[in-house]
Chain A
Amino acid sequence: MSEKQAGFGTADIPQSGVKNQFVPEDRKLILAHLGFSFFSLLIGATAGLFQTLQRTGYIDLPANVGYYQLLTIHGVSLALVFTTIFIHGYLYSGLVRTLGGSFQPSERAWAWIGYYVMVVGSLLAFITILNNNASVLYTFYAPLQASPWFYIGLALLVVGSWIGSIAIFKSYYRWRRGNKGKASPLFAYMAVATMVLWLICTVGVAIEVVVQLIPWAFGWVERVDVSLSRTLFWYFGHALVYFWLLPAYIYWYVNIPRIIKGQIFSDSLPRLTFILFILYSIPVGFHHQLNEPAISTFWKFVQVILTFFVVIPSLMTAFSLLATFELAGRSQGATGLFGWIKKLPWKDIRFFAPVMGMLIFIPAGAGGIINASFQLNQVVHNTLWITGHFHMTVAATVLLTFMGISYWLVPALRGRALTKRMNNLAIFQTVLWVFGMGFMSVTMHVVGLLGEPRRTAYTTYMDSPVAQTWEPYRQLVGIGGIFLFISLLLFLFIIYYLWFASPRVESSIEYPIGEVNEKAQKPPLILERWSVWVGVTIVLILIAYAIPIWNMLQHGPAGAMGFRTW
């Protein structure tokens, strides 16, 4: 196969052969999710630009806009709203494609109810933040006390996501009933695993918000147990990052093999990988609380051990994906040790953006291991190092993958062309993002080691000598932020074009679903016995959390009053 064919061109991208692979009802549902998530992305990125320019000393904010208010909206709109709603839309699209071509009306109805509940909740949270009644950041640590409507908004976002997950479970069991004894399609399996993880972990934050924070914010109870609320938050908070990562992994495992003209390397290992994520991404929240009181060293260490277990499925993923790439390249005639790299479709945005994300995940994942490395955590905790870390993971690895998905999913749903010009512009946009993230996040890591704290407005600490050493790094962080904002506007422009203006086509771009290598072993059916895995997960959670939470309840102080300090 020649170099030219391996690149991007309309002849090279498989077409579906029909105007649209989705029935109009499903199309509307998925587009509604994508649309609201992009709206949220614009809000979050705008707030991100202004807060980064404020904290790095480039601009002063107008008197009626608070730095911490902007930071709150940045975190809530991107980390909570954009991710959750985009993920639902993407998972629905893959389920529809792999489980018979369309949702049943009842499944679609659950998805719509979930969507509206999530949208109402998100808007409620946005409004309370914009009214300056909830500058509590997206982690809303008590005793910062926001308006009760902020917590109600977030609760609705979570409840809506649960309602939406009913559509996922219903369609999966519909397929299982019709295909007894068969392993489910890999995409559907992984979507179910992602939602199982999400249901188990959101229980923690739901208890925190509904039982602790809402009654306290309304004034029905006076005090809140701060330690317990933080523990419930981080029981959820670390699994949350895997809820972002797993859909990216689904794209890498299931969709990309088709894009690179390869095959899915194994049908069992990816499933086992996702099971390991369910088991080990939840009982690990204490690694966010390593420097705080009321949790004994022993239990912190137990959770550090479990945290290291969750590295293993990512090691498996790294191997599987590279093996998939190499086999695809070799099957197209690549020779030599590294010849297969040249065979990969670097000029195809569907591949290029997520692969940039994968490459960034190598140092980003290593940084995560550093953060969890017990004693090392006191060097980086609450410094800009951490901010750099999660911008490389969620805002590069995950987001670049989601952008790569959007670039073909939007035109596929709209029956329009992903034109060569837009493909090339999207590659430029990705390069800009990688550069911006490089400037910003690498610098944040360095200045974090020099002690600059995260989540802090511009300050010189009264011209303290150590704060002066941070100045040159701040300049670079600001420049990175500007690059990122321009890149994001470009992304939204391309999406707007693909949504409304790109030429209509007779045969839309194919929804890429990889085929499993025929030599691959059939997946063991026990991997599909969810009760077993949920049971093991609950046992692990009890081991990691039961005694420390019992201790908090037994020996905790009277609790803290709420304050509004912004």
Chain B
Amino acid sequence: MFKLDLPRYERIWLIVGTGTLAVFLVLFGFMAFSMGLTLSDGHKTVTPEALQTTAPFDQPGFVEIGPNEYKATMIAQVFSFVPGEAVIPVGSKVHFEVTSPDMVHGIGIPGTNVNMMVLPGHITEATYTFNRPGEYLILCNEYCGAGHHVMMGKLIVK
């Protein structure tokens, strides 16, 4: 197409730079597609106004589904989480499934990699294993209105 004068040092700089970027991408790709380390997502939908009559959101809560394995069905709504508090044993693997009847919310649990966007009409899923005991703060990390900063929950791991 066309040729550009590229000084030798600039060539080296760009090769090192793009090479580094390529290495990063290969690493993320390997972690994502071979080790299954992916981010929160989800493809199921639900009618936001009908959560009270739609399973599993008609009975939100942490349910043990195997040895040290839980399904956490949660609703994020203005301005609280349902359930607002839960207790699980150390080492529990928790499969979150969350939706919202109203606004866009977020779930962040400081000290963990749990970080989920919660959209009305969609179900967001993520999995995390709680290996350290303690009291975890669950907070809404997407602005949802005047009470956004009081929207919180607690997860006690012991």
Residues of A within 8 A of B (CB): 66-68, 135, 137, 141-144, 226-227, 230, 266, 268-269, 272, 289-297, 300-301, 304-305, 308, 311-312, 315-316, 319-320, 323, 369, 373-375, 377-379, 381-383, 450-459, 461-462, 464-467, 520-521, 524, 526-527, 555-561, 563, 565-566
Contacts and interface: CB of A to CB of B under 8 A. Distances in A.
A293 B41 contact: yes
B39 A291 contact: yes
Given A226-B120, A293-B42, A457 B148 contact: yes
Contact of A383 (B5, B108, B149, B154): B108
Given A319-B14, A382-B106, A450-B110, A565 B5 contact: no
A556 B149 contact: no
Given A141-B104, A269-B4, A377-B39, A560 B146 contact: no
Interface in B8-33: 9-10, 13-14, 17-18, 21, 24-25, 28-29, 31-33
A466 B139 CA distance: 11
B13 A558 contact: no
Given A374-B32, A560-B121, A521 B5 contact: yes
B28 A462 contact: no
Contact of B124 (A141, A293, A297): A293
B24 A373 contact: yes
A320 B5 CA distance: 12
A301 B29 contact: yes
B136 to A, nearest CB: 8
Nearest to A454: B141
Given A323-B10, A382-B142, A457 B37 contact: no
B17 A312 contact: yes
Interface string B100-129: 001110101111011111011111110000
B47 A558 contact: yes
A378 B139 contact: no
A296 B41 contact: yes
A319 B104 contact: no
Interface residues of B, number: 71
Nearest to B38: A297
Contact of A456 (B1, B41, B149): B149
B59 interface: no
B39 A563 contact: no
B4 A268 contact: yes
B45 A555 contact: yes
Contacts of B110: 450-452, 466
Contacts of A301: 28-29, 32-33
B103 A143 contact: yes
29 contacts: A226-B104, A226-B122, A266-B5, A272-B4, A290-B39, A291-B115, A297-B38, A301-B29, A312-B17, A315-B17, A316-B10, A374-B31, A374-B32, A375-B37, A382-B108, A382-B115, A383-B141, A450-B110, A451-B110, A452-B110, A453-B140, A455-B148, A456-B149, A464-B152, A526-B2, A557-B46, A557-B47, A560-B48, A565-B103
A375 B119 contact: no
B102 to A, nearest CB: 6
B86 to A, nearest CB: 15
A466 B43 contact: no
B56 interface: no
B28 A143 contact: no
Contact of B121 (A300, A379, A559): A559
Contacts of B31: 374-375
Contacts of B108: 382-383, 451, 453
Given A293-B40, A300-B39, A378 B115 contact: yes
Contacts of B10: 316, 319-320, 323
B116 A291 contact: yes
User: 8 shortest A-B CB distances, which residue pairs?
Assistant: A451-B110, A565-B145, A557-B121, A292-B117, A524-B2, A293-B42, A557-B45, A459-B149
B29 to A, nearest CB: 7
A147 B3 CA distance: 53
A466 B104 contact: no
B106 A565 contact: no
Contacts of A450: 110
Given A382-B106, A451-B111, A464-B137, A294 B122 contact: yes
Interface of B: 1-7, 9-10, 13-14, 17-18, 21, 24-25, 28-29, 31-33, 37-43, 45-49, 78, 102-104, 106, 108-111, 113-117, 119-125, 135-137, 139-150, 152, 154
B17 A563 contact: no
A68 B146 contact: yes
B29 A291 contact: no
Contacts of B43: 293-294, 296, 555
Contact of B115 (A66, A381, A455, A557): A381
A57 to B, nearest CB: 12
B85 to A, nearest CB: 11
Given A293-B41, A319-B9, A456-B141, 15 more contacts: A66-B146, A135-B146, A143-B103, A143-B120, A226-B122, A292-B124, A294-B42, A308-B25, A382-B141, A451-B110, A459-B150, A466-B137, A524-B2, A557-B47, A566-B146
A130 B63 CA distance: 46
Contact of B21 (A142, A290, A308): A308
B2 A563 contact: no
Contacts of B42: 293-294
Contacts of A315: 13-14, 17-18
A304 B119 CA distance: 22
Given A227-B119, A461-B139, A526-B1, A563 B102 contact: yes
Contacts of B137: 451, 461, 464-467
Contacts of B29: 301
Contacts of B7: 323
Contacts of B40: 291-293, 378
A68 B41 contact: no
A319 B18 CA distance: 13
Contacts of A381: 115, 141
Contact of A308 (B13, B24, B39, B114): B24
B133 to A, nearest CB: 13
A565 B147 CA distance: 8
A331 B61 CA distance: 72
